[in-house]
Amino acid sequence: MKKYILLLVVICLFSCKNENPVIIPITNDKFTIVDDKATEQTHNLLVNLKSISKKGAMFGQQCSTLYGLGWYGDKNRSDIKTVCGNYPAINGWEIGGIELGNTINLDKDKFDDIRSHIIAAYQRGGVNTITWHANNPATNGNAWDKTQAVNTIIPGGINHEKYKMWLDKIADFMLTLKDSNNHFVPVLFRPFHEFSGDGFWWGKGNCTSEEYIALWKFTITYLRDTKGVHNILYVYSSDIVNTQAQYLDFWPGDEYVDVLGIDAYDRPSWNFEDNCLQLTRLLNHIGILKNKPIALTETGLQNNTNQASWWTQKLLKVLITQPVSYVMVWRNENTNDFFGPYPGCISEADFLKFSKSDKIILENNLPKMY
Ligand code: BMA
């Protein structure tokens, strides 16, 4: 019976025209979570991520409360909050460098600061997600060093023991994420992102799909079963893709993924509204098949100096038609590398309008997530 309902949904999905909002009921209600020993809060986060998309998309930014344009480390500050009065609902953090035992990440942010911002966001009711631009384990070069490495760290590889020590460092960090009640803070961990492109040593072209899958499965089983880390939801996220097959090329199996993501930035060759809409429709389709929440895990128009209405005319148009659970723009590093709004930027007024849309969820209008 379920098969027929699913088929109906799929037919309905394909028969809907682009301009019509697509609201698709979730019919496959079997709940699955990667870690069946996940803490109650982590479990609740996944349940609520699935349902929040009926209300709207949580909006956020990488490193938003740690720094922004012209400031670093100020208390209770975020460029998003300065522009619209509210903190992001989803907060992104980067732990590249943790594997080396460093006290700062590759962007020179202190892990102690990252930890305290994660805990603070959680205690305010917000959600945190973590990326890992891991060094190349075969060469000790950075994440962009494309020398083949995945085959050296999976079980049987010459750097496998070294990789286990790297994961020990990640586990140590995850296990220090505790609130004042001694509860673990859940995080959405998004390792080995943008796998469909060849930008990183773990991307397509630099490893086979079998190697990537072995790496993904080992990483999860080691953190979960060997190290006993139970405050993680796992996010599988590609770069832009054209087909479902391409998206699922590195798929490790339904039982190894909690959330489906795509990173899709506005780019010169693109009509963002159309192209990103197509992508999120594809993601939504796969999300229904897999019964998992979907997210636009990275997006933005870098250094926007000429599209004053990008937020409402481009991004919002995508978000209002697709049940995306969250959307995150990358960091405001400096005036030559920013993705979010800031006071005085060209899109400030439009961002304020965007933030007031009933489809956009910031920290102040987040339902209880845990
Ligand atoms: C990338 C860039 C890099 C940065 C990395 C990790 O997208 O912003 O400069 O080192 O993310 O934060």
194 lines ligand 1 (CB under 6 A): no
Write the pLDDT tens digit of every residue in 321-330: 999 999 999 9
User: Which residue's alpha carbon is at the smallest distance from atom 4 of ligand 1?
Assistant: 107
Specify the ligand 1 atom closest to the Cα of 94.
Answer: 12
Give the list of residues 6+ apart from residue 36 with CB closer than 8 angstroms, or none. none
Q: 193 C-alpha to center of ligand 1: Å?
A: 12
User: Mind giving me the DSSP string for 234-289?
Assistant: EEEEES--SSHHHHTTT---GGG-SEEEEE----TT--HHHHHHHHHHHHHHHHHH
Residue 96 alpha carbon, nearest atom of ligand 1: 6
Write the DSSP assignment of 67-109 as a string of letters.
Answer: EETTEES-TT--HHHHHHSS--SEEEEE-TTGGGT-SB-TTS-
> Is the Cβ atom of 106 under 6 angstroms away from ligand 1?
yes
Q: Is there an atom of ligand 1 within 6 Å of 79 CB? A: no
- Report the candidate in 170, 166, 165, 168 with the shortest Cα–Cα distance to residue 130: 170
Structure tokens at 300: 């933005």
Is any atom of ligand 1 closer than 6 Å to the C-beta of 107?
yes
Interval 92-101: pLDDT, tens:
999 999 999 9
pTM: 0.92
Look at the chain and count its residues. 370
Distance from the CA of 53 to the center of ligand 1, in angstroms?
28
The protein residue with its alpha carbon nearest to ligand 1, atom 10, reads 107
Q: Whose CA is nearest to atom 9 of ligand 1?
A: 107
Centre of ligand 1 from the C-alpha of residue 127, in Å: 20
Give residue-wise pLDDT tens across range 299-348: 999 999 999 999 999 999 999 999 999 999 999 999 999 999 999 999 99
Strand partners, 174: none
pLDDT bin (cut points 50, 70, 90) of residue 3 is: low
Pocket of ligand 1 contains residue 133 by CB under 6 Å: yes
Angle at 328 between CA 110 and CA 254, to 5 degrees: 100
Q: Could you tell me the pLDDT band of residue 29, with boundaries at 50, 70 and 90?
A: low
310-to-259, 327, 353 alpha-carbon distances in Å: 26, 15, 11
What is the CA(123)–ligand 1 centre distance, in A?
A: 26
Atom of ligand 1 nearest to the CA of 63: 12
